[in-house]
Every structure is written in C-alpha cells, then in structure tokens.
C-alpha cells in the first residue's frame, strides 16, 4: 500500500491493483495484470508486474511515467519523478 498526493494505491489479495481518491491525472485508473509492489507519487503511480517489468501511469508532466524497458527489483514514485533498481542492481531515475 502507498499513499500519494490525495490518492492511494494498494495490491489486493489476488495481486491486482486498487486505486482510490483524486484521479485528475488518471492516477487511480490502475493498469490490469498482477503485481508485486506499488508506489504512489504526487499524481502518478508505479508498480512492478509479476514478470518484473514496470507499469507507470498518471501524470507525465515531468517524464515520470515515461515507458521503461527491462526488469526491475524495486520502484519508488516521487513528487515529479520515479526511481527504480534494475534487475542488474543499477539505479535508474527519470
């Protein structure tokens, strides 16, 4: 579970996502699929799918939901940015 700016995100018992609260940038319109982790930023969300790829949605005003390739171990959504640890251990921010 993660609380962002006026909205929250959580992983349900079936590993799908739930979002509630403000949705002005689409931040609670969560992607489909199954997930292992989720993070809420100011007005965007980031999650790791069960296949270790990233899902990013909501505001992209500063590039924070720009599509990323590869597989990931961890992700964190910030105010206007996103950071993640790739499967090879490197840190990436955008």
pLDDT digits (tens, 9 = 90+) for 66-82: 999 999 999 999 999 99
CB-based contact 54:33 (threshold 8 Å): no
Kindly state the tokens that stand for 64. Answer: 């924070």
The predicted structure's pLDDT at residue 87: 98
The predicted structure's pLDDT at residue 1: 97
Domain map (residue ranges) of the chain: 2-93
Task: Give the three-class secondary structure for 48.
Answer: strand
Cα diameter, the chain: 35
Q: Residue 56 CA to chain centroid, in angstroms?
A: 5
Q: How far apart are CA 84 and CA 37, in angstroms?
A: 12
Q: In which band, very low, low, confident or very high, does the pLDDT at 89 lie, cut at 50, 70 and 90?
A: very high
């Amino acid at each position: 579970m993660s609380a962002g700016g006026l909205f929250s995100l959580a992983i349900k018992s079936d590993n799908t996502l739930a979002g509630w609260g403000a949705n002005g940038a689409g931040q609670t319109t969560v992607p489909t699929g199954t997930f292992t982790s989720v993070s809420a930023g100011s007005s965007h969300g980031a999650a790791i799918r069960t296949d270790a790829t990233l899902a990013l949605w909501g505001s992209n005003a500063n590039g924070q939901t720009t599509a990323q390739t590869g597989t990931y171990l961890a992700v964190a959504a910030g105010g206007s940015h996103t950071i993640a640890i790739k499967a090879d251990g490197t840190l990436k921010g955008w």
